[in-house]
Amino acid sequence: MRTVLVLNGPNLRRLGTREPDVYGAETFDDLAALCRETGRGLGLDVEVRQTDDEAEMVGWVHEAADGRVPVVLNPAAFTHYSYALRDALAQRTAPLIEVHISNPAAREEFRHTTVVAGVATGTIAGFGLRSYVLALHAVAGLLADEDGA
């Protein structure tokens, strides 16, 4: 069973209480359970992590690159300014899907910029927690394509 890291940036542990009109009422624990359950159904071992610390996130990305581990990443606020994270992600050795619960392009103008999208395999945004489900399906499909090549 292939491991996939689902990495989450700042404030995502506050799901359920943080701006529920934007991010919904489901909690981070709900998100983690949904990702693990989806992964099981796809034959993936999903490990869900969250940090508010940029250095820790960069370390996790290095770990994934070194291990050729696919990543589903919600960089949260790091999306808009973290060149350190972008440079770490550019070293990826496996699929990387950027996800967002809301649609950043439909929100405040500062959210329209992503420094991550240019180094990601693809981006899924605006589908609530389903964005993660769609991203895990994309990873499973990309891995199947690699295995069949």
Q: Sorting pLDDT into bands at 50, 70 and 90, what band is 148? A: confident
Structural domain boundaries, residue 19: 2-148
Residue 106 pLDDT > 60, yes or no?
A: no
* Domain total of the chain: 1
74 is in an annotated binding site: yes
Task: Tell me the average pLDDT of the chain.
Answer: 91
Query: In the structure encoding, which two tokens stand for residue 113, read together?
Result: 């910029």
Residue 102, annotated as binding a ligand: yes
Which residue, among 84, 131, 127, has the nearest Cα to 106 in the 3D structure? 127
Q: What is the pLDDT of residue 79?
A: 87
Q: Which residues are catalytic?
A: 23, 100
Q: Is 21 annotated for ligand binding?
A: no
**Where residue 18 sits, what CATH number does that domain have?**
3.40.50.9100
For the residues 78-97, what does the mean pLDDT come to?
Answer: 94
Torsion on CA atoms 110, 78, 117, 50, rounded to nearest 10: -130
pLDDT: which is higher, 107 or 27: 27
Is residue 97 a known part of a binding site?
Answer: no
Does the structure show a pLDDT above 80 at 96?
yes
Q: Does pTM surpass 0.75?
A: yes
- Contact assessment for residue 7 and residue 54, using Cβ atoms and an 8 Å cutoff: no
Q: Partners of 5 in the beta sheet?
A: 47, 71
- E strand spans, 24-110: 44-50, 71-74, 96-100
